[in-house]
Amino acid sequence: MLLIIYTIGADFSTPGCSREWTEYPDLCYFQFMKIALAQISPVLGNPERNLKIHLDCVRKAVSKKASLIVFPELSLTGYTLKDLAAEIALNPGKSPVFKKLLEASRAIDLVVGFVEEAADDPGLVYNAAAYLSRGRILHVHRKVFLPTSGMFEEGRFFAAGRQFRPFDTGRVRTGLLICRDFLHYGSSYCHFAGGAGLIITISAAPGRGIDESRGQGFETSHMWELMGESVSFFSSAVMVYCNRVGYEDGAVFAGGSFIYSPFGKLITRLPYLEEDFAVIGVDLSEIARARQSWPFRRDDRPEVIWQSLEKIIRENI
Protein backbone atom coordinates (compact mmCIF):
# COMPACT_ATOMS: atom_id res chain seq x y z
CA MET A 1 0.00 0.00 0.00
CA LEU A 2 1.25 3.50 -0.87
CA LEU A 3 0.99 5.72 2.20
CA ILE A 4 1.38 9.47 1.80
CA ILE A 5 0.23 11.79 4.56
CA TYR A 6 -0.22 15.49 4.04
CA THR A 7 -2.21 17.16 6.78
CA ILE A 8 -2.25 20.87 6.09
CA GLY A 9 -5.53 22.16 4.73
CA ALA A 10 -6.48 19.31 2.41
CA ASP A 11 -9.47 20.24 0.23
CA PHE A 12 -11.06 17.36 -1.70
CA SER A 13 -13.23 19.73 -3.74
CA THR A 14 -10.07 20.68 -5.62
CA PRO A 15 -9.58 18.84 -8.96
CA GLY A 16 -7.00 16.09 -8.65
CA CYS A 17 -7.52 15.46 -4.93
CA SER A 18 -9.62 12.32 -4.66
CA ARG A 19 -10.38 9.93 -1.78
CA GLU A 20 -10.39 6.97 -4.13
CA TRP A 21 -6.56 6.95 -4.12
CA THR A 22 -6.06 6.42 -0.39
CA GLU A 23 -7.69 5.50 2.89
CA TYR A 24 -6.15 8.59 4.45
CA PRO A 25 -8.44 11.62 3.98
CA ASP A 26 -5.69 14.23 4.44
CA LEU A 27 -3.88 13.29 1.20
CA CYS A 28 -3.65 16.53 -0.76
CA TYR A 29 -3.34 17.13 -4.49
CA PHE A 30 -0.07 18.99 -3.93
CA GLN A 31 1.51 15.59 -3.19
CA PHE A 32 -0.54 13.33 -5.46
CA MET A 33 -2.03 14.34 -8.81
CA LYS A 34 -3.84 12.63 -11.65
CA ILE A 35 -2.54 13.32 -15.14
CA ALA A 36 -4.63 12.51 -18.23
CA LEU A 37 -2.88 11.57 -21.48
CA ALA A 38 -4.98 12.22 -24.60
CA GLN A 39 -3.31 10.17 -27.35
CA ILE A 40 -5.48 11.45 -30.20
CA SER A 41 -5.43 11.68 -33.99
CA PRO A 42 -6.08 15.37 -34.81
CA VAL A 43 -7.95 16.40 -37.95
CA LEU A 44 -5.56 18.17 -40.31
CA GLY A 45 -6.36 21.84 -40.80
CA ASN A 46 -9.57 21.92 -38.76
CA PRO A 47 -9.23 23.63 -35.35
CA GLU A 48 -12.99 23.61 -34.75
CA ARG A 49 -13.30 19.81 -35.06
CA ASN A 50 -10.15 19.37 -33.01
CA LEU A 51 -11.58 21.68 -30.35
CA LYS A 52 -14.55 19.32 -30.00
CA ILE A 53 -12.14 16.37 -29.59
CA HIS A 54 -10.26 18.32 -26.92
CA LEU A 55 -13.38 19.28 -24.99
CA ASP A 56 -14.68 15.70 -25.09
CA CYS A 57 -11.38 14.51 -23.61
CA VAL A 58 -11.48 17.28 -21.01
CA ARG A 59 -14.93 16.14 -19.88
CA LYS A 60 -13.67 12.57 -19.48
CA ALA A 61 -10.62 13.75 -17.54
CA VAL A 62 -12.70 15.93 -15.22
CA SER A 63 -15.11 13.05 -14.58
CA LYS A 64 -12.11 10.99 -13.44
CA LYS A 65 -10.93 13.87 -11.22
CA ALA A 66 -7.72 14.51 -13.14
CA SER A 67 -5.97 17.79 -12.42
CA LEU A 68 -4.02 18.00 -15.71
CA ILE A 69 -4.67 16.81 -19.26
CA VAL A 70 -1.91 16.73 -21.89
CA PHE A 71 -2.50 16.70 -25.66
CA PRO A 72 0.07 16.03 -28.44
CA GLU A 73 2.06 18.44 -30.60
CA LEU A 74 -0.11 20.60 -32.89
CA SER A 75 -3.17 18.90 -31.41
CA LEU A 76 -5.47 21.74 -32.48
CA THR A 77 -4.34 21.80 -36.10
CA GLY A 78 -2.71 18.56 -37.23
CA TYR A 79 0.95 18.30 -38.21
CA THR A 80 1.63 18.39 -41.97
CA LEU A 81 0.19 21.87 -42.53
CA LYS A 82 2.94 23.25 -44.77
CA ASP A 83 1.72 26.49 -46.43
CA LEU A 84 -1.53 26.24 -44.46
CA ALA A 85 0.34 26.98 -41.23
CA ALA A 86 0.09 30.78 -41.53
CA GLU A 87 -3.59 30.65 -42.46
CA ILE A 88 -4.54 28.44 -39.54
CA ALA A 89 -2.40 30.16 -36.88
CA LEU A 90 -4.15 31.16 -33.65
CA ASN A 91 -3.62 34.19 -31.45
CA PRO A 92 -4.24 32.80 -27.94
CA GLY A 93 -5.38 36.19 -26.68
CA LYS A 94 -8.05 36.60 -29.34
CA SER A 95 -8.96 33.17 -30.70
CA PRO A 96 -12.51 31.84 -30.05
CA VAL A 97 -10.95 28.37 -29.86
CA PHE A 98 -8.72 29.48 -26.99
CA LYS A 99 -11.61 31.25 -25.32
CA LYS A 100 -13.40 27.89 -24.96
CA LEU A 101 -10.24 26.11 -23.85
CA LEU A 102 -9.57 28.78 -21.24
CA GLU A 103 -13.07 28.33 -19.90
CA ALA A 104 -12.45 24.57 -19.71
CA SER A 105 -9.21 25.24 -17.82
CA ARG A 106 -11.21 26.48 -14.84
CA ALA A 107 -11.94 22.83 -14.07
CA ILE A 108 -8.62 21.24 -15.10
CA ASP A 109 -5.18 22.35 -16.33
CA LEU A 110 -4.53 21.78 -20.04
CA VAL A 111 -1.45 21.49 -22.26
CA VAL A 112 -2.36 21.91 -25.94
CA GLY A 113 -0.36 22.15 -29.16
CA PHE A 114 -1.11 24.76 -31.82
CA VAL A 115 0.27 27.10 -34.46
CA GLU A 116 0.82 30.44 -32.74
CA GLU A 117 0.33 33.73 -34.55
CA ALA A 118 3.02 35.90 -33.00
CA ALA A 119 1.41 39.00 -31.50
CA ASP A 120 4.88 40.32 -30.59
CA ASP A 121 6.30 39.84 -34.11
CA PRO A 122 3.63 40.12 -36.83
CA GLY A 123 4.08 37.80 -39.80
CA LEU A 124 5.81 35.01 -37.88
CA VAL A 125 4.15 31.77 -36.77
CA TYR A 126 5.45 29.23 -34.27
CA ASN A 127 4.92 25.58 -33.46
CA ALA A 128 3.80 26.18 -29.88
CA ALA A 129 2.51 24.58 -26.70
CA ALA A 130 0.30 26.39 -24.19
CA TYR A 131 -0.29 25.60 -20.52
CA LEU A 132 -3.75 26.79 -19.46
CA SER A 133 -4.95 26.91 -15.86
CA ARG A 134 -7.77 28.58 -13.92
CA GLY A 135 -8.91 30.52 -16.99
CA ARG A 136 -5.46 31.91 -17.73
CA ILE A 137 -2.55 31.19 -20.06
CA LEU A 138 0.29 30.41 -17.65
CA HIS A 139 2.93 29.79 -20.30
CA VAL A 140 3.51 29.43 -24.04
CA HIS A 141 6.56 27.52 -25.26
CA ARG A 142 7.73 27.98 -28.84
CA LYS A 143 9.52 24.97 -30.34
CA VAL A 144 13.23 25.71 -30.59
CA PHE A 145 14.60 22.81 -32.62
CA LEU A 146 12.70 22.55 -35.92
CA PRO A 147 13.52 19.38 -37.91
CA THR A 148 14.02 20.22 -41.58
CA SER A 149 15.24 17.13 -43.37
CA GLY A 150 13.70 14.03 -44.91
CA MET A 151 9.95 14.13 -44.31
CA PHE A 152 10.27 17.10 -41.94
CA GLU A 153 9.89 20.67 -43.24
CA GLU A 154 9.22 22.69 -40.10
CA GLY A 155 12.02 25.19 -40.70
CA ARG A 156 10.33 26.23 -43.95
CA PHE A 157 7.09 27.28 -42.29
CA PHE A 158 7.77 28.05 -38.63
CA ALA A 159 10.02 30.52 -36.85
CA ALA A 160 12.22 28.98 -34.14
CA GLY A 161 11.67 29.65 -30.45
CA ARG A 162 14.48 31.25 -28.46
CA GLN A 163 14.28 29.95 -24.90
CA PHE A 164 13.45 27.21 -22.40
CA ARG A 165 11.84 28.64 -19.29
CA PRO A 166 10.21 26.65 -16.47
CA PHE A 167 7.20 28.16 -14.72
CA ASP A 168 5.04 27.64 -11.64
CA THR A 169 1.59 26.08 -11.91
CA GLY A 170 0.56 26.18 -8.25
CA ARG A 171 1.28 22.46 -7.91
CA VAL A 172 4.78 21.88 -9.22
CA ARG A 173 7.35 23.86 -11.17
CA THR A 174 6.98 22.74 -14.78
CA GLY A 175 8.85 22.83 -18.08
CA LEU A 176 7.41 22.38 -21.57
CA LEU A 177 9.16 20.86 -24.61
CA ILE A 178 7.93 20.04 -28.11
CA CYS A 179 9.07 16.84 -29.83
CA ARG A 180 12.60 17.40 -31.21
CA ASP A 181 13.37 19.76 -28.31
CA PHE A 182 13.34 16.68 -26.08
CA LEU A 183 16.10 14.94 -28.05
CA HIS A 184 18.54 17.80 -27.36
CA TYR A 185 19.56 17.09 -23.79
CA GLY A 186 20.47 20.71 -23.15
CA SER A 187 16.75 21.52 -23.36
CA SER A 188 15.83 19.31 -20.43
CA TYR A 189 18.88 20.56 -18.54
CA CYS A 190 17.55 24.12 -18.74
CA HIS A 191 14.34 22.97 -17.02
CA PHE A 192 16.32 20.95 -14.48
CA ALA A 193 18.56 23.94 -13.69
CA GLY A 194 15.42 26.09 -13.38
CA GLY A 195 13.99 23.79 -10.72
CA ALA A 196 11.32 21.97 -12.74
CA GLY A 197 9.91 18.87 -11.04
CA LEU A 198 7.59 18.09 -13.96
CA ILE A 199 8.81 18.08 -17.57
CA ILE A 200 6.14 17.72 -20.26
CA THR A 201 6.95 16.89 -23.88
CA ILE A 202 4.22 16.98 -26.51
CA SER A 203 5.04 15.21 -29.75
CA ALA A 204 4.01 14.28 -33.29
CA ALA A 205 6.63 11.59 -33.78
CA PRO A 206 6.25 9.05 -36.61
CA GLY A 207 7.16 5.42 -36.14
CA ARG A 208 10.13 4.08 -38.10
CA GLY A 209 11.95 0.75 -37.94
CA ILE A 210 10.60 -2.34 -36.18
CA ASP A 211 12.03 -2.85 -32.69
CA GLU A 212 12.92 -6.53 -33.04
CA SER A 213 14.66 -6.65 -29.66
CA ARG A 214 11.38 -6.07 -27.84
CA GLY A 215 9.01 -7.63 -30.34
CA GLN A 216 6.75 -4.58 -30.37
CA GLY A 217 6.79 -0.91 -31.28
CA PHE A 218 9.29 0.99 -33.37
CA GLU A 219 13.01 1.66 -33.07
CA THR A 220 12.17 5.36 -32.89
CA SER A 221 9.69 4.74 -30.05
CA HIS A 222 12.45 3.01 -28.09
CA MET A 223 14.60 6.11 -28.64
CA TRP A 224 11.97 8.35 -27.02
CA GLU A 225 11.57 5.94 -24.11
CA LEU A 226 15.33 5.82 -23.50
CA MET A 227 15.34 9.62 -23.40
CA GLY A 228 12.37 9.61 -21.02
CA GLU A 229 14.09 7.20 -18.65
CA SER A 230 17.36 9.14 -18.73
CA VAL A 231 15.89 12.63 -18.36
CA SER A 232 13.53 11.63 -15.56
CA PHE A 233 16.33 9.98 -13.58
CA PHE A 234 19.06 12.58 -14.01
CA SER A 235 16.62 15.48 -13.59
CA SER A 236 14.86 13.80 -10.63
CA ALA A 237 11.63 14.91 -12.28
CA VAL A 238 8.34 13.43 -13.44
CA MET A 239 8.62 13.03 -17.22
CA VAL A 240 5.39 13.16 -19.26
CA TYR A 241 5.47 12.44 -23.00
CA CYS A 242 2.29 12.65 -25.09
CA ASN A 243 2.55 11.54 -28.72
CA ARG A 244 -0.16 11.52 -31.36
CA VAL A 245 -1.39 8.70 -33.60
CA GLY A 246 -2.99 8.54 -37.04
CA TYR A 247 -1.89 9.10 -40.64
CA GLU A 248 -1.04 12.30 -42.51
CA ASP A 249 0.60 12.75 -45.89
CA GLY A 250 2.12 9.25 -45.79
CA ALA A 251 3.40 9.55 -42.21
CA VAL A 252 2.33 7.07 -39.52
CA PHE A 253 2.41 8.59 -36.04
CA ALA A 254 3.48 6.09 -33.41
CA GLY A 255 1.68 6.93 -30.16
CA GLY A 256 3.30 5.15 -27.22
CA SER A 257 2.84 8.07 -24.82
CA PHE A 258 4.42 7.52 -21.40
CA ILE A 259 5.15 8.81 -17.92
CA TYR A 260 8.36 8.16 -15.95
CA SER A 261 8.87 8.73 -12.24
CA PRO A 262 11.67 10.91 -10.77
CA PHE A 263 13.57 7.66 -10.15
CA GLY A 264 13.58 6.85 -13.86
CA LYS A 265 10.94 4.13 -13.50
CA LEU A 266 8.21 3.67 -16.10
CA ILE A 267 4.80 4.46 -14.61
CA THR A 268 2.71 3.92 -17.73
CA ARG A 269 2.99 3.59 -21.49
CA LEU A 270 0.03 3.81 -23.85
CA PRO A 271 -0.36 1.52 -26.89
CA TYR A 272 1.50 2.16 -30.11
CA LEU A 273 -0.52 3.34 -33.14
CA GLU A 274 -3.92 3.35 -31.37
CA GLU A 275 -5.92 6.28 -30.07
CA ASP A 276 -6.11 6.02 -26.31
CA PHE A 277 -6.99 7.97 -23.19
CA ALA A 278 -5.66 7.26 -19.73
CA VAL A 279 -5.62 8.92 -16.30
CA ILE A 280 -2.56 8.09 -14.22
CA GLY A 281 -1.82 8.89 -10.59
CA VAL A 282 1.57 10.49 -9.95
CA ASP A 283 3.18 10.94 -6.53
CA LEU A 284 4.84 14.36 -6.56
CA SER A 285 6.51 13.72 -3.21
CA GLU A 286 8.85 11.36 -5.07
CA ILE A 287 10.57 14.42 -6.55
CA ALA A 288 11.98 15.39 -3.15
CA ARG A 289 12.82 11.79 -2.27
CA ALA A 290 14.67 11.28 -5.57
CA ARG A 291 16.66 14.49 -5.06
CA GLN A 292 17.62 13.36 -1.58
CA SER A 293 18.73 9.95 -2.86
CA TRP A 294 20.60 11.27 -5.90
CA PRO A 295 21.77 14.87 -5.27
CA PHE A 296 22.13 15.91 -8.92
CA ARG A 297 20.04 19.01 -8.21
CA ARG A 298 21.98 19.94 -5.04
CA ASP A 299 25.33 19.60 -6.81
CA ASP A 300 24.34 21.34 -10.05
CA ARG A 301 26.58 24.23 -11.18
CA PRO A 302 24.65 26.07 -13.91
CA GLU A 303 27.01 29.05 -13.71
CA VAL A 304 29.92 26.80 -14.75
CA ILE A 305 27.88 25.44 -17.68
CA TRP A 306 26.92 28.97 -18.68
CA GLN A 307 30.51 30.25 -18.54
CA SER A 308 31.76 27.26 -20.53
CA LEU A 309 29.08 27.66 -23.20
CA GLU A 310 29.70 31.40 -23.41
CA LYS A 311 33.40 30.73 -24.08
CA ILE A 312 32.61 28.04 -26.66
CA ILE A 313 30.16 30.30 -28.50
CA ARG A 314 32.55 33.27 -28.41
CA GLU A 315 35.44 31.21 -29.77
CA ASN A 316 33.39 29.71 -32.58
CA ILE A 317 31.62 32.81 -33.90
* CATH number of the domain residue 299 falls in: 3.60.110.10
54 neighbors 277 (Cβ within 8 angstroms): no
pLDDT of residue 120: 86
By residue range, what is the domain housing residue 97? Answer: 34-316
Does residue 259 fall inside a structural domain?
Answer: yes
pLDDT of residue 211: 59
Does residue 148 fall inside a structural domain?
Answer: yes
pLDDT of residue 177: 98
List C-alpha distances in Å: 161 to 77, 129, 181, 300.
Answer: 19, 11, 10, 25
d(CA 241, CA 70): 9
DSSP per-residue string spanning 19-50: GGG-S-TT--TTTEEEEEEEE--PPTT-HHHH
Does residue 1 fall inside a structural domain?
Answer: no
pLDDT tens per residue across all 317 residues of the chain: 333 333 223 333 333 333 333 333 333 435 899 999 999 999 999 999 999 999 999 999 999 999 999 999 999 999 999 999 999 999 999 999 999 999 999 999 999 999 999 988 889 999 999 999 999 999 999 999 999 998 899 999 999 999 999 999 999 999 999 999 999 999 999 999 999 999 999 999 998 776 555 656 778 899 999 999 999 999 999 999 999 999 998 889 999 999 999 999 999 999 999 999 999 999 999 999 999 999 999 999 999 999 999 999 999 87
Does residue 25 fall inside a structural domain?
Answer: no
Does residue 111 fall inside a structural domain?
Answer: yes
| Structural domains of the chain, count | 1
pLDDT of residue 213: 59
Does residue 193 fall inside a structural domain?
Answer: yes
Does residue 112 fall inside a structural domain?
Answer: yes
Does residue 24 fall inside a structural domain?
Answer: no
